A = this chain, B = another copy of it.
Amino acid sequence: MPPPALHSAVLDAVGRAITSGDIVPGTPLTLESIGTQHQVSRTVAREVMRMLEGLGLVRSRRRVGLVVLPMAEWNVLDPRVIRWRLAGPGRDEQLRTLTELRHAVEPLAAAGAARHASAEQRAELVDLADRMRVLGARGDLTEFLALDIRMHELLLRASGNEMFGALAAVVAEVLTGRTHLGLMPAAPVPEALDQHEAVARAVADSDAAAAEAAMSALVGEVRTALDAAGPVGEHR
């Protein structure tokens, strides 16, 4: 329903080219080259450039053009950057680091949710866990994914800390990426279902310590599963 939006298409193309490594850091681009390359006017190239600058992918310098920045400067927590990088090479490494981040954040967020969640939120969490079990048994991965995302988003947003809430988009990208990349088993393993239910229950019971432990176990499980499934990115 939103019209294709020209500049966002160009942004996507250039963003992918940079994050995938097709354009090496240090390479200078020009508005002219972007414009002609994507059949687009100078003005929209400028807007795209501003957005890329906001994502930390490039820096604009006079007389020199847009220099592509090294990865250390990238806004690797921005959902767009995550999506691009999950689609390119190094997605295993990407999933590893993101899962580690989840391991740091989500247990504390679950504990926070156990303390601060509203009655409606607690009820929805339990309901979600139940429906996940049903859908998991049926093997409907896309619907399961939607519930999974919803549950983690709910937990992060109910944590009483907007910083955790801001990471909901990150987790959503990770989950969808993991599913679409075929890294999920055909049917969710029973442990995962149990752990989701344990988290929901602990939050519903306002048991912060239990919620934190359950969430920690859940993400830890994901971590070992990732290590077992795709140890492709052997580095050093």
Chain A residues proximal to chain B, CB less than 8 Å: 3, 7, 43, 46-47, 50-51, 53-55, 62, 71-72, 74-78, 97-98, 100-101, 103-105, 107-109, 112, 157, 161-167
Selected A-B contacts with CB under 8 Å, 29 pairs: A3-B62, A7-B50, A43-B43, A43-B46, A46-B47, A47-B47, A47-B50, A50-B50, A50-B51, A51-B51, A51-B54, A71-B162, A75-B166, A76-B163, A76-B165, A76-B166, A77-B77, A77-B163, A77-B166, A77-B167, A97-B161, A100-B112, A100-B164, A104-B104, A104-B105, A104-B107, A104-B108, A104-B109, A104-B164
Chain B residues positioned under 8 Å from A3 (CB to CB): 62
Chain B residues positioned under 8 Å from A47 (CB to CB): 46-47, 50
Instruction: Determine chain A's interface SS by DSSP, over half rule.
Output: helix
Q: Please pick, from B72, B75, B105, the residue contacting A105 in the complex, using a CB distance under 8 A.
A: B105
Q: Is A100 a contact of B108 with CB atoms below 8 Å?
A: yes
CB distance from A115 to the nearest CB of B (A): 12
Closest to A62 in B: B3
Q: Is B43 a contact of A100 with CB atoms below 8 Å?
A: no
Extra pairs beyond A101-B164, A104-B105 (18, CB < 8 Å): A3-B62, A7-B50, A46-B47, A50-B50, A74-B166, A75-B78, A75-B166, A76-B163, A77-B166, A77-B167, A97-B163, A100-B163, A101-B105, A101-B161, A101-B163, A103-B108, A104-B107, A105-B105
